[in-house]
């Protein structure tokens, strides 16, 4: 089974209203390019100069991508995008 990309409500309109879509990227570093190639409307919302904007948080199998190496494989990963919000 390939990797999946889960989107929050505000982004679903960019992929036809779907919550989870397939994504093919060999590793974390290749994820932005893979999104740009397959989901250009989504890319226009979440990417800035080929990288994720500062207001998007990316999780790979529950791990915050900021703590992961770009070579982290995504072959069957569950990737999730969330607006960057936190505050207790």
Partner 1 sequence: MATAPAAATGSTASTRPGTPESAGTRSALRGLRCRACGVLQPADERYVCSECLGPIEPEYDLASFDTGALRLGIERGPRSLWRYAALLPIADPPAHAAVGWTPLLAAPRLGTALGIGRLYLKDDTRNPTLSFKDRPVAIALARALELGLDTIACASTGNLAGAVAAAAARSGLRAFVFVPESTEPGKIASAAAYGAQVVRVRGTYDQVNRLCGRLADEHGWGFVNFTLRPYYAEGSKTLLFECAEQLGWALPHHVVVPVGSGALLTRTATAVAQLRATGLVNGEHCHIHAAQPAGCAPVSDAVLDNWRAVAPVRAPATIARSLAIGAPADGDGSVGVIRESHGSAASVSDDDIRDAISLLATAEGVFVEPAGGVVVATARELARRGVFHADETVVLYLTGNGHKQEPAVVSLRDVIAADADEFAVAYAEVL
Q: Is 31 helix (H, G, I), strand (E, B) or coil?
A: helix
Query: 3, 5, 11, 28: which one contacts partner 1 (CB under 8 A)?
Result: 11
Quick check: 25 binds partner 1 (CB under 8 A)? Answer: no
* Contact by Cβ (8 Å): 84, 54: yes
Give the largest CA-CA distance in the chain.
37
For residues 82 and 56, give the distance between their C-alpha atoms in angstroms, rounded to a whole number: 6
Any contact of residue 70 with partner 1 (CB under 8 A)? no
With binding defined as CB under 8 A, does residue 85 bind partner 1?
A: yes
Exactly one of 33, 37, 51, 84 binds partner 1 (CB under 8 A); that residue is 84
Determine contact, residues 79/59, Cβ cutoff 8 Å.
yes
Which residue of 64, 70, 71, 73 would you call a contact of partner 1, by CB under 8 A?
A: 64
Q: Which residues bind partner 1 (CB under 8 A)?
A: 8-11, 19, 45-46, 53-57, 59, 62, 64, 66-67, 80, 82-88
């Amino acid at each position: 089974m390939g990797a999946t990309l889960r989107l929050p409500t505000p982004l679903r309109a960019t992929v036809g209203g779907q919550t989870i879509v397939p994504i093919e990227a060999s590793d974390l570093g290749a994820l932005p390019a893979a999104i740009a190639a397959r989901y250009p409307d989504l890319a226009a919302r979440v990417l800035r100069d080929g990288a994720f904007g500062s207001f998007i948080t990316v999780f790979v199998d529950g791990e915050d991508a900021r703590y992961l190496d770009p070579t982290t494989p995504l072959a069957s990963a569950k990737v999730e995008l969330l607006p960057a919000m936190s505050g207790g």
